[in-house]
Amino acid sequence: MSVGLPAAWRDYRNRRRSLLAAVGIAPMLAAAGESAPGANGTHVFLLALSATSLVAAAVWFAGFRCPYCKLPFHWTWLIANPLSRECLHCGFAKWRDPHAARHYGRGVKDR
């Protein structure tokens, strides 16, 4: 448990972990359904379950909003980069403290 991590980045970490878990579990579910002898309905169900969980986790991960500008962090209308280290809209760096950035931004503007 990391106490110093802002809530927005804890949410991002949870979304990323769920996507990685779905990517890791999908092949195992497909293999488990394949190895069951004579269970064609089970195989189809496990494939549908793995595909649905993978899509749901990917959509949830892609919906993460930048803690600074509140726009989608990983995609714009023309660009989608789930591995980007900064917001594609405002350039806000990943893992940066949004509260400190807002405070610093107000201080610079007031000068």
pLDDT interval class at 102 (50, 70, 90): low
Continuous H helices in 2-39? 7-35
Q: With a cut of 60, say whether residue 111 has pLDDT above it.
A: no
Whole-angstrom distance, CA of residue 64 vs CA of residue 74: 8
Return the percentage of the chain with pLDDT > 70, whole number. 80
Which is more confidently placed, 56 or 99? 56
For 22-44, how does the pLDDT look when each residue is reduced to its tens digit (9 = 90+)? 999 888 877 776 666 666 777 77
The predicted structure's pLDDT at residue 38: 64
| Contact (Cβ atoms closer than 8 angstroms) between residue 18 and residue 57 | yes
Q: What is the dihedral of CA 7, 2, 94, 63, to 10 degrees?
A: -40
32 in the Ramachandran plot: left (φ > 0), alpha (ψ -120 to 50) or beta? alpha
Which is more confidently placed, 6 or 2? 6
21-to-15, 24, 45, 97 alpha-carbon distances in Å: 10, 5, 19, 26
Q: With a cut of 50, say whether residue 93 has pLDDT above it.
A: yes
For 44-75, how does the pLDDT look when each residue is reduced to its tens digit (9 = 90+)? 787 888 889 999 999 999 999 999 899 999 98
